[in-house]
Amino acid sequence: MSNVLWLRDVSIAECAMSFCVAAIFIYKRVWGKFSLLFALIALRALSGAILIPLLFFRKDLGISLPVAYNTYFITAWISGAAQTLLLIGVIYHVYHEAMRPLQGLQRIGKIIFRWVAVVSLAVSLAFAAGPHTSTITFASFATAIAPQVQQGVFVLTLCLLLFVCLAIRPLGLTFRSRIFGVALGLGVTATTFLVQAAWLATVGAQSLYSPIYLVGTVGTLVSVCIWGAYFTLPEPERKMILLPTTSPFFTWNRISEALGDEPGYVAIAGFKPQMLAAAELKVLSSAAHKVDRLPASSQSAEDILSRSAANQRVAVSQ
């Protein structure tokens, strides 16, 4: 069996599996909760339904080569750009769902994610428009920027998978949770595409029927199967999260929750009674009256407490 036939059959299997998994999402009514992943799978299925006949059955369909190539070119690039954007959205969604119990870390992670995305995009654009290209053509620009953006997204995907895998218990997840399944599927896709990327700049990638594309297609097929399995099987409920007080997750979550809060203000100097509103003056004067009416025994108790606190401070400072 030749490489072209292998590529054709695996591509057809992957496209058919994508349609099946999209149907599972609709049947199980999870396409709303995992809308970006559903859109990614549906887009892969639809683009496969257009690209596979053009690539492998053009002569049988009687389509001329220029028409087939132009259609293939436009569809592949639009689909690729949309898939990359959806992939970033899915990674963001997986992180958001995984970190739901730890609101502080979730919030700070989202801020870091946005900054990393902006910086990565800026670096990729700067690299693509760098002085190494004497004449900027679509091919030279796309060759420079597309692999950079894609590899950056896949490295981010692998980091997410590693994080979810290693922090699965503090997040209250199990290896049967759908969040982990989605991250695992993305990780398989990312690994196979990064392996495939090693050959993209070689003579092996000179044809659309190159055997190197088998690697990525098989990886996508495996990841779609993983998603299908995870969304077909019932998901275990999220566990109660019991963290020790010394846990770094607990500590950093509390610190992150405090970060960015609106601070309180204390008047140190320059305060005048005229600065207070009438209602504030009334509250203060009533509080002062209450302090005056306190019995001598409670005042002495307060004195004792303040004295003991002062003594403790002196002991600590010594």
Partner 1 sequence: MKSTFVRAIVLTLTVAGLAAPSMTSAKTVAPSKTATTSFSGYPTPLCMPGTGNYCGMQ
Among 3, 35, 120, 143, binds partner 1 (CB under 8 A): 143
Q: Report how many residues bind partner 1 under the rule CB under 8 A.
A: 73
Among 9, 118, 122, 204, binds partner 1 (CB under 8 A): 204
Rounded Cα distance between 218 and 23, Å, is 21
Under DSSP, the state recorded for 2 is -
Task: Take residue 285 and report the two structure tokens written for it.
Answer: 């004067």
Least distance CB 254 / partner 1 (angstroms): 27
Q: Which is nearer to partner 1, 78 or 276 (CB)?
A: 78
Q: Name the one residue in this structure whose structure tokens are 């405090």.
A: 258
One-letter identity of residue 48? G
For 254-283, give the DSSP string.
HHHHHTTPPPP----S---GGGS-HHHHHH
Rounded Cα distance between 167 and 173, Å, is 9
Among 19, 23, 35, 58, binds partner 1 (CB under 8 A): 58
Q: Which is nearer to partner 1, 106 or 223 (CB)?
A: 223
Q: Are 169 and 249 in contact (CB under 8 A)?
A: no
Q: CB-side exposure of 228: number of CA atoms within 13 Å? A: 17
Least distance CB 134 / partner 1 (angstroms): 9
| Stretch binding partner 1 (CB under 8 A), from 28-36, 73-81, 116-124, 301-309 | 73-81
Least distance CB 199 / partner 1 (angstroms): 6
Q: Which is nearer to partner 1, 69 or 257 (CB)?
A: 69
One-letter identity of residue 266? V
193 binds partner 1 (CB under 8 A): yes
Task: Take residue 143 and report the two structure tokens written for it.
Answer: 């060759």
Within residues 89-128, the interface with partner 1 by CB under 8 A covers none
Within residues 37-56, the interface with partner 1 by CB under 8 A covers 44, 47-48, 51-52, 55
84 binds partner 1 (CB under 8 A): yes
Rounded Cα distance between 189 and 9, Å, is 18
Burial class (CB in 10 A: 0-12, 13-18, 19+), 235: middle
Least distance CB 5 / partner 1 (angstroms): 13
Least distance CB 224 / partner 1 (angstroms): 10
Rounded Cα distance between 43 and 17, Å, is 13
Within residues 280-299, the interface with partner 1 by CB under 8 A covers none
The count of residues in the chain is 318
Among 179, 200, 218, 226, binds partner 1 (CB under 8 A): 200
Q: What is the dihedral of CA 67, 72, 74, 80, to 10 degrees?
A: 180
Q: Which residue in 256, 150, 232, 237 sits closest to 158, CA to CA?
A: 150
Q: Is 76 helix (H, G, I), strand (E, B) or coil?
A: helix
Taking residues 236 to 275 in sequence order and writing x for each that binds partner 1 by CB under 8 A, - otherwise, the string is: ----------------------------------------
Among 72, 92, 227, 249, binds partner 1 (CB under 8 A): 72
Least distance CB 318 / partner 1 (angstroms): 50
Among 76, 85, 121, 225, binds partner 1 (CB under 8 A): 76
